Amino acid sequence: MIVLKQQSEIDKIRASNVIVAEVLAALREEVREGVTTRQLDCLSEELVLKKGAKPAFKGYRGYPFSLCASVNDEIIHGLPSERALVDGDIVGLDFGAFYMGYYGDAAITVPVGRISQEAVRLLQTTEEALALAIDEARVGNRLGDISAAVQGHVEAAGFSVVRDFVGHGIGRNLHEDPQIPNYGVRGRGIKLKAGMVLAIEPMVNAGSHRIKMRPDGWTAVTADGRLSAHFEHTVAITENGPEILSRRQ
Ligand code: MF3
Ligand code: CO
């Protein structure tokens, strides 16, 4: 069941997502060689609490941290650790907030120092795929238009989209209907309506789309050990087009 949101609810979801955007912007500034992903996790929690919000992921289905930090071949749900970032790494930072009864959720992937040409292209392609997908989040379009936009752009670049994880509706719950695959067929799927709020999150692998789970039960990694990138925004579908809620104001 898809819950459509009133303007007053969208305003609260925006408030939560602006906090997420501010936390991610602060984390991005701290990413450098020598910083551990656990330090980034601690900082994210400190900042979100200071803003009067709660970390959305901590305790969600037993997730033990506030931040997901996924390095290099880690796709999503990377567990913060004493691992220090090194020059040439890419690190996915996925963060959620809970504020005034509503969830915010967004992710960025950030370079550490100088990264390879392939890594640069992977980050660019994934972020572009997200932008193209958001542009399809319009009244009258279909869910498959969002999915196909991601898949088309990613595969044209010679990369692959992860199939085992999807984007999602968001609001009073972190994960609501509909599921939003990053692959699909234009013109298929449900019709998009004003009041839908969607967390659109392409996960893109440099090589094969196949994944493996680490024994920690959380971290998804690429089966072939190659790089993966992840960008996510929470977006409201309005009569005036898509509105990105997870943006600093
Ligand atoms: N952005 C991810 C998602 O929407 C983060 C969830 S992490 C979890 O699924 F720990 F909360 F599961
Ligand atoms: Co999400």
Centre of ligand 1 to C-alpha 67, Å, is 9
Beta bridge partners of 229: 204
Pick the ligand that lies closest to the CA of residue 94: 1
pLDDT score for 150: 98
Q: Is 94 in the pocket of ligand 1 (CB under 6 A)?
A: yes
Mutate which of 68, 109, 168, 232 for ligand 1? The one with the most ligand atoms within 8 Å of its CB, which is 68
Centre of ligand 2 to C-alpha 27, Å, is 18
Average pLDDT over residues 122-139: 98
Return the structure tokens found at 167: 């984007």
pLDDT score for 224: 98
Cα separations in angstroms, 230 against 5, 29, 74, 124, 142? 26, 18, 10, 11, 23
Q: Measure CA 29 to chain center.
A: 18
102-111 vs 203-205, strand pairing mode: unpaired
Using alpha carbons only, what angle is made at residue 79 by residues 77 and 83, rounded to the nearest 5 degrees? 135
Centre of ligand 2 to C-alpha 50, Å, is 22
Centre of ligand 1 to C-alpha 118, Å, is 26
pLDDT digits (tens, 9 = 90+) for 176-212: 999 999 999 999 999 999 999 999 999 999 999 999 9
Number of Cβ within a 10 Å radius of residue 13: 25
Average pLDDT over residues 209-235: 98
Domain boundaries, the chain: 7-244
Q: Is 57 in the pocket of ligand 1 (CB under 6 A)?
A: yes
Q: How far apart are CA 158 and CA 53, in angstroms?
A: 40
CA dihedral 36, 228, 104, 188 (to 10 degrees): -170
How confident is the prediction for the chain on average, in pLDDT?
A: 98
pLDDT band at 244 (very low <50, low <70, confident <90, very high): very high
* Peptide linkage before 178 cis (omega within 30 of 0): yes
Residues with CB under 5 A from ligand 2 (ion): 105, 199
Q: Is 181 exposed, middle or buried (0-12, 13-18, 19+ CB in 10 A)?
A: buried
pLDDT score for 124: 98
pLDDT score for 138: 98
Question: Which residue has a Cα nearest atom 6 of ligand 1?
Answer: 57
Question: Which residue has a Cα nearest atom 11 of ligand 1?
Answer: 57
Taken in order 202, 117, 226, 23, is the CA torsion positive or negative? negative
Q: Which fold has domain 7-244?
A: Creatine Amidinohydrolase (3.90.230)
Question: Which residue has a Cα nearest atom 7 of ligand 1?
Answer: 57
pLDDT digits (tens, 9 = 90+) for 50-92: 999 999 999 999 999 999 999 999 999 999 999 999 999 999 9
Q: Is 2 exposed, middle or buried (0-12, 13-18, 19+ CB in 10 A)?
A: middle
pLDDT score for 196: 98
The pLDDT > 90 percentage for the chain reads: 100
